[in-house]
Amino acid sequence: MPGVPQPQLNWTTRPDDATVAEIMSLLEAAAAADGVDPVSEPVLLRLRHGRPGRHLLARDATGALVGFADLDVRHERATTELTVHPAHRGHGTGTALVDAVAQRAGSALWAWAHGEHPAAVRLADRAGMRRARELWQLRRSLTDPVPSRLLPEGLSLRAFVPGSDERAVVEVNNRAFAWHPEQSGWEVEDLQLRGGEPWFDPAGFLLAVDGADRLHGFHWTKVHPGPPPAGEVYVLAVDPDAQSGGLGAALTAAGLEHLRERGLPEALLYSEADNAAAIRMYRKLGFTHHHTDVEFLR
């Protein structure tokens, strides 16, 4: 912008602890101002656990961090999530980040606007991006009873056993989400990384198994401490060979009952907006639309 010094942009793959602290402070400020987290969990995991990534830092003339972008390339699909510190918006930093990330991606670029934030939508429009995907967050109160759903005959529920069930869970996950840009192609390390997070609780990781202990599906729940606290249908996966028998609804109901017994007031989940079957099932279990995350394509 004329008259406004452009930020200094620098890429890093493994930011040091001090830089990670700066990034986290910026993300927290953006979340407080916008009412929605500016980046998704995989970005936070890369930062907190020192995993290699493609991070773009924008600093002003004083060296203060004013903007941040993450570029993730999976399955030849380049995706970015970015934000600008609330006190430094309106000066071209967002545009500079998008342009630099697009140049680095060198191909089609996907970009998230979490919560469909108006400023992010305007930035996407200016960058010549089109709306290509919508992810709905759905919520329901847990103060109301959870509709019961019976497991298909021959199946029972048990809790996940760390050190024993990882491989089977990853295999079912990857079969169930072979079509999904983020959830597909998991490795055991991806599960173990999340298993080391403070919120992880094997008791809330419900596996549907047959008499031979073969896994047919699972419901991995998550607890957000808040405030306010909430439970999440973190991952719900049914093996394609076990679909159409009501297992998904039964697993969802069982996980919700677990969260309700924990005393949590509300549950949330994410679903592709065009997944009509999943939306229909969740609505029958009392979920309603809360907000939309939009992914744009350039």
Among all chains, which residue has been given the structure tokens 């005959």? 153
Domain boundary pick from 77, 101, 128:
128
pTM (2 d.p.): 0.93
Asked if the structure places residue 2 within a domain, the reply is no
Domain boundary among 78, 110, 128: 128
Which CATH number characterizes residue 39's domain?
3.40.630.30
For residues 175-187, give the mean pLDDT. Answer: 95
The structural domain count of the chain equals 2
Let me know how many helices (H) and strands (E) the chain has, helices first: 8, 12
Task: Using the predicted structure, report yes or no on whether residue 6 has a pLDDT greater than 90.
Answer: no
Any domain includes 265: yes
Give residue 2's pLDDT band: very low, low, confident or very high (50, 70, 90).
low
Shared-domain flag, residues 161 and 244: yes
Cβ-contact 95, 50 below 8 angstroms: no
Asked if 242 and 123 sit in the same domain, the reply is: no
Q: Which residues pair with 84 in a beta bridge?
A: 67
* pLDDT tens readout for residues 8-36: 999 999 999 999 999 999 999 999 999 99
Say whether 135 sits in a helix, a strand or coil.
Answer: strand
Backbone φ and ψ of 186, nearest 5°: -70, 155
pLDDT tens for each residue of 212-235 = 999 999 999 999 998 889 999 999
Contacts of 261 (CB under 8 A, 6+ apart): none
* Pair (186, 250) in one structural domain: yes
Question: Is the CB of residue 247 less than 8 Å from the CB of residue 152?
Answer: yes
Give kind and range of the element (H or E) at residue 259. helix 247-261
Give me the pLDDT at residue 4, please: 67
pLDDT at 170 over 70: yes
Q: Quick one: average pLDDT of 262-269?
A: 97
What value does the mean pLDDT of the chain take? Answer: 95
Is position 133 within any domain? no
The percent of residues in the chain predicted with pLDDT above 70, rounded, is 99
pLDDT of amino acid 107: 82
Domain containing residue 213: 138-292
Answer yes or no: is 297 within a domain: no
Cis peptide before 225 (omega within 30 of 0): no
